[in-house]
Amino acid sequence: MPPSLTAALQEWESLEKEYHQIQESQRLYLQKLDEVSKLQSNCSSSISHHRSRLKDMSQLMKKCNKERLTEEDVKTLDEIKEHIKARPNTFFEMEAFLPKKNGLYLNLVLGNVSVTLLSKQSKFAYKDEYEKFKLYLTVILLLFTFMCYFFVSYRLVDAILNFLLVWYYCTLTIRESILISNGSRIKGWWVFHHYVSAFLSGVMLTWPDGYLYQNFRNQFLAFSLYQSMVHCMQYYYQSGCLYRLRTLGERHNMDLTVEGFQSWMWQGLTFLLPFLFFGHFWQLYNGLSLFRMARLPDCKEWQVSMCGISFLILFMGNFLTTVAVVRTKLKSKDQAKPKGQ
């Protein structure tokens, strides 16, 4: 037998062994997948059942409170209440690793496909990629807006900028919905305001060129430029603060940077508040300017009123949410002070 044929047969024998090993690995993998699927279903049903029993337990404890209890009984009931209060957070952590039905928005966009990431590494990698996406697009929007404001004044270029804004905010809403399904605790308004921003950008995209558009154009571009700079500054300081708090175990690994102010930013990031409030009142100014424009006799474009309403919604949501966070933190700070101070 020629040496080349012997070598070829030996190589084929080695390939056959490797192929059978691959088949066995695949069979084992599918078997484990089936086991994992059954465990997921079991965990989900057990959590639902336990939640139902906790509700019954809460009702039972209300009946116990109406009876005459000893001091030791009251202490025991208080301990049980503390455990019941802690369970929802524990279940939230558990369900972050279990498949769940998509919300209405994700169902409309992606269909009924599971978006749950099953490992901590995958979740954190997706969160990190989301943060990078926000930063890179914010920088691109900053440069694009700067170019439109100072160098280019063509309606087509403005339309490209507005289309980019629509795509950016729509993409954010999808990614944030996926992150929420995977355990991110994003506050309601900081998600909803991206829907409003996407709508606003879409209306700006359809606004035809004319006297009214040109009258508002520079004001909008200046606002967008300021907003992008503030977002970059927020990302820089918030990411550093989140890293420090996660290291200390005070924040969740899936917490995100936001275009606003949250309670965890109170330590070290209060200097951002003046920049945020200035941006909020600029949104109010934009809304009022558009409503004054809508009252002009020659105003025929519906986009003027729609943009004005959108800016007012953004102002009210951003301003009231930020004020609520500041008020809550100041109140808790006062309560934490010792009596007599």
Domain shared by 317 and 247, yes or no:
yes
pLDDT in tens, 219-242: 999 999 999 999 888 887 777 766
Structural domain includes residue 339 = no
Q: Are residues 155 and 28 in the same domain?
A: no
Query: Is 225 a domain residue?
Result: yes
Domain range for 26 is 9-98
pLDDT in tens, 174-184: 998 888 888 78
Cα–Cα distance, 305 to 197 (Å, whole number): 15
Structure tokens at 187: 């506050």
> What is the per-residue DSSP string for 244-300?
HHHHTT-S-TT----SS--GGGTTT-GGGHHHHHHHHHHHHHHHHHHHHHHTSTT--
What would the pLDDT profile of 120-149 be if each residue is shown by its tens digit?
888 878 888 888 899 899 999 999 999 999
Based on the fold, state whether residues 157 and 266 are members of the same structural domain: yes
Q: What integer is the mean pLDDT of 294-320?
A: 94
Residues 51 and 129 in one domain: no
**Whole-structure pTM value:** 0.81
Does 290 reside within a domain? yes
- Residue 89 sits in the same domain as residue 181: no
- Examine the pLDDT at 247 and tell me if it is beyond 90: no
- Structure tokens, 207: 């606004």
Please provide the distance, in angstroms rounded to a whole number, between the alpha carbons at the two ends of the chain.
99
How far apart, in whole angstroms, are the C-alpha atoms of residue 125 and residue 156? 37
Q: Are residues 221 and 123 in the same domain?
A: yes
Are 86 and 158 part of one and the same domain?
no
Are 176 and 261 found together in one domain? yes
Residue 78: the pLDDT is 86
Domain-ending residue, one of 73, 98, 123: 98
User: How many beta carbons lie within 10 A of that of residue 176, not counting itself?
Assistant: 19
Same domain for 174 and 38:
no
Q: Same domain, yes or no, for 90 and 137?
A: no
Side chain identity at residue 108, one-letter code: L
pLDDT value, residue 301: 93
